[in-house]
Amino acid sequence: METAITWAPGRFGGVTDYLPWREAMAAALYGPGGFYRDPAGPAAHFRTSVHASALFAEALLQLAERERLRTVVDIGAGRGELLTALHELDPRLRLLGVEVAERPAELPEAISWRRTMPGGLTALVIANEWLDNVPIDVVEVDPHGVPRLVLVHPETGEEILGPEPTAEDVDWLQQWWPAAAGQRAEVGRGRDEAWAALVSGLGAGSLAVAIDYGHDLETRPAGGTLTGFRWGRQVAPIPDGSCDLTAHVAFDSVVAAARLAGATSIRLTTQRAALADLGLTGGRPALDRARTDPRSYVAELAHASEIGELRDPDGLGGFSWLMARR
């Protein structure tokens, strides 16, 4: 079984030029000329834990060794930054990047690269900031209490209300994101299906880890979370291929989907806690070392600063880690 993001161009019903957000987002991110096919790569537009510190790769290597898994797969691998760091740490690892973009020219030959996830693989699978880019539909509840699809113009970002969502999406909304008149919701059913397909397709003994920002039923934002990023700045989410389009993950529904997909154990925690469990606890060096051994003090201070950024509860440390075993 293979897992891949697909997209389908076209128009919706009889509404000229406007598309449901899920279709517009898929084309803008993954279609020809889409954001994730840009040679500059995602790192030119936003900073993840991978780019923040090499210590993130060291922690994931510790996780692979603890799980006794010698194959590591990076879903949504960008330009292979994480895999390259892992290769430098341990050249014996079997490494695979799954990404819609072409294989980076500078990627070490030992790292495999493909557009889809092969079935039956026993591996540590890392999906770092992947689920937030799996396309979603956006709905808004009209004054009569009826959820309506939000349609968007792919060139201007202008929105209008369209027809009701499908029955399957209405069921998902009722269970996972009930909304009142005037409120918005983001339909995460496609993300549930993507994660379930990934988990169910893994070989026995695998561990899949989704790392992302998210929410649960108690913390759903009434206005939704869909936004854009371009050149390091948050921008309006216009689905023209010029910016990243991202929305927070409904992790409680993804957890339920993993269980139905056959995960034998599931753990949902924060990045702060997960990294501490892997040995990244931080702590500033003693101040007197600045006098007795200034060079070491500066190095230790920089090390502690990197750990601090990765574990900051108001930043990267607040990300959720969903760990599902097969």
Residue 299 inside a domain? The answer is no
Average of per-residue pLDDT across 19-30: 97
Return the amino acid letter for 309.
E
Q: What pLDDT does 45 receive?
A: 73
Domain assignment of residue 4, yes or no: no
Note the Cα 272 to chain centre separation in Å. 17
Contact by Cβ (8 Å): 211, 278: no
| SS3 category, 163 | coil
Query: Is residue 48 very low, low, confident or very high in pLDDT (cuts 50, 70, 90)?
Result: confident
Q: Is residue 297 part of a domain?
A: no
The whole domain housing 158 covers 19-275+313-325
pLDDT at 1: 33
Rg value, the chain, Cα: 21
Separation of alpha carbons 296 and 95, rounded Å: 34
* Separation of alpha carbons 95 and 48, rounded Å: 20
- Write down the pLDDT at residue 46: 75
pLDDT for the residue numbered 188: 97
pLDDT of residue 272: 95
Range from 9-13, 57-61, 166-170, 188-192 carrying the lowest mean pLDDT: 9-13
Q: What pLDDT does residue 53 have?
A: 86
Q: Is the pLDDT of residue 76 over 70?
A: yes
Domain membership flag for residue 11: no
Is residue 120 situated within a structural domain? yes
pLDDT confidence band for 40 (50 / 70 / 90): confident
Give the model confidence (pLDDT) of 251-274 as tens digits: 999 999 999 999 999 999 999 999
Q: Quick one: pLDDT at residue 189?
A: 98
Write out the E strands in the chain. Answer: 19-20, 71-75, 94-98, 111-114, 124-128, 137-141, 147-152, 159-161, 184-187, 207-212, 214-215, 227-230, 233-235, 244-246, 249-250, 265-270, 320-325
Domain assignment present for 103: yes
Handedness of CA 46, 52, 251, 71 (dihedral sign): positive
pLDDT > 90: percent of the chain: 77
**Is residue 263 situated within a structural domain?**
yes
Calculate mean pLDDT across residues 205-229. Answer: 96
As to burial, measured by CB atoms within 10 angstroms (0-12 exposed, 13-18 middle, 19+ buried), residue 33 is exposed
Residue 7 lies in a domain: no
Q: Is 55 helix (H, G, I), strand (E, B) or coil?
A: helix
pLDDT digits (tens, 9 = 90+) for 129-187: 999 999 999 999 999 999 999 999 999 999 999 999 999 999 999 999 999 999 999 99
> Based on the structure, what is the number of domains in the chain?
1
Instruction: Supply the pTM of this predicted model.
Output: 0.89
Query: What CATH code is carried by the domain that includes residue 32?
Result: 3.40.50.12710
